[in-house]
Every structure is written in C-alpha cells, then in structure tokens.
C-alpha cells in the first residue's frame, strides 16, 4: 500500500529533511492522471543562511517559507523557471528544501517543467493536498548520498557557499 507522508515527516531542520526526501515520490495531480517521480537531488536552505530567501525577513514573495513544514513554496527564477521548494521545520522558522532533480530530470527548472509546477501551488500543504503530495519510496542508504556544494548562490557568504547542502543519490546506485 502506498503511504502518503504526514506532517511529522517535515518537522525537522532543512538538512535532515533534504536527506529524508531522497528516494521519496513526488505526486502531482495532472487532470485525470497522477504524475509520480522519485526525488533524486535537493538543496537545503536554512535559518540564518545568507543563501536562503528568508535571510532578510518575511516578504510577500517568501511568505510560504515561514509556514509549517510540509508547505509548498514556488518562486519565479530568472523570469522563466518556477522553482519548487518544500518548507521544513516549524511555523515561523523560514527554512526549506529546493527540489533539484527527479528521475528523468536534473535541474530545478526542468523538474518544474516536467511536473507542471507553477506558483498556484504556493501554500499547498503536502500532507493534505489533493494537487501535490509525497509518498514513501525506497529508502536510500546514507553511503549512496553525495554531499555537494549548492549551486548559483554567489551572493551568499563564503561560509554559506561552502556548505555541503546539496544532496544527490550517488550515480553508482
């Protein structure tokens, strides 16, 4: 039986959630069909992290990031790509995880294109939504997870640029 992930799953910091998301199945209701894809790569964005959209405080754009873990946050990048993120932790903390790769697609823009992601999904709550949700997948062993530097955050402090907060299922799986 397929298990939809509950709110408790998201009640952790962004680094822990990133690791837990690998191998999970993202599900998108697309008309009469459900698109299901395994999550293969993610990036964490945390509290007091100069690379995180919430670093300078709450705005209309980043407001979903300050909601309860399991909330969806989608933002427009470069005026072209809708980028999918899942909030982690508790209400008001402002941390989350960007979905960078799914089976068949690497890169957050490609992920959103394949899954038909747009900002209408902002504020959806994964544990209860009928539009977007996560299902349990095959567990990924810790030794199969690559830790890498995040991409495209040259504006962040060097310390935050050097964090190994991009997580990917190793190619040798």
pLDDT tens digits, 71-97: 999 998 877 889 999 999 999 999 999
Give the model's pLDDT for residue 1: 56
Q: What sections of the chain are H helices per DSSP?
A: 14-21, 108-115, 158-162
- Provide the pLDDT for residue 138: 86
Residue 106: pLDDT above 60?
yes
Pick among 3.30.420.40, 1.20.1250.20, 3.10.300.10, 1.10.3720.10: CATH of 7-168: 3.10.300.10
**Per-residue pLDDT band at 172 (split at 50, 70, 90):** very low
User: Both tokens of residue 170?
Assistant: 């190793």
The whole model's pTM is what? 0.93
Q: For the chain, give the mean pLDDT.
A: 93
Q: What is the pLDDT of residue 120?
A: 95
The burial of 125, by beta-carbon neighbours within 10 Å (0-12 exposed, 13-18 middle, 19 or more buried), is given as middle
For the segment 124-145, the average pLDDT, to the nearest whole number, is 94
Instruction: Tell me phi and psi for residue 14, to 5 degrees.
Output: -65, -35
- Cα(43)–Cα(108) distance, rounded to whole angstroms? 10
pLDDT tens for 39-63 read 999 999 999 998 899 899 888 989 9
Amino acid 173: pLDDT: 41
Q: How many other CB atoms are there within 10 angstroms of residue 7's CB atom?
A: 14
């Amino acid at each position: 039986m397929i298990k939809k992930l509950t709110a408790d799953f998201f009640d952790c910091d962004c680094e822990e959630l990133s690791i837990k998301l690998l191998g999970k199945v993202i599900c998108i209701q697309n008309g009469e069909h459900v698109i299901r894809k395994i999550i293969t790569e993610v990036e964490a964005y945390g509290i007091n992290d100069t690379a995180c959209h919430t670093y300078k405080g709450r705005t209309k754009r980043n407001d979903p990031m300050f909601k309860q873990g399991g909330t969806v946050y989608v933002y427009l990048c470069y005026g072209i790509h809708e980028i999918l993120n899942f909030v982690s932790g508790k209400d008001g903390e402002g941390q989350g995880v960007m979905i960078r790769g799914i089976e068949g697609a690497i890169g957050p823009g490609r992920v959103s294109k394949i899954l038909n992601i747009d900002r209408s999904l902002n504020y959806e709550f994964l544990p209860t939504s009928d539009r977007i949700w996560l299902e349990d997948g095959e567990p990924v062993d810790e030794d199969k997870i690559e830790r890498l530097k995040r991409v495209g955050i040259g504006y962040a402090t060097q310390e935050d640029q050097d964090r190994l907060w991009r997580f990917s299922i190793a190619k040798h799986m």
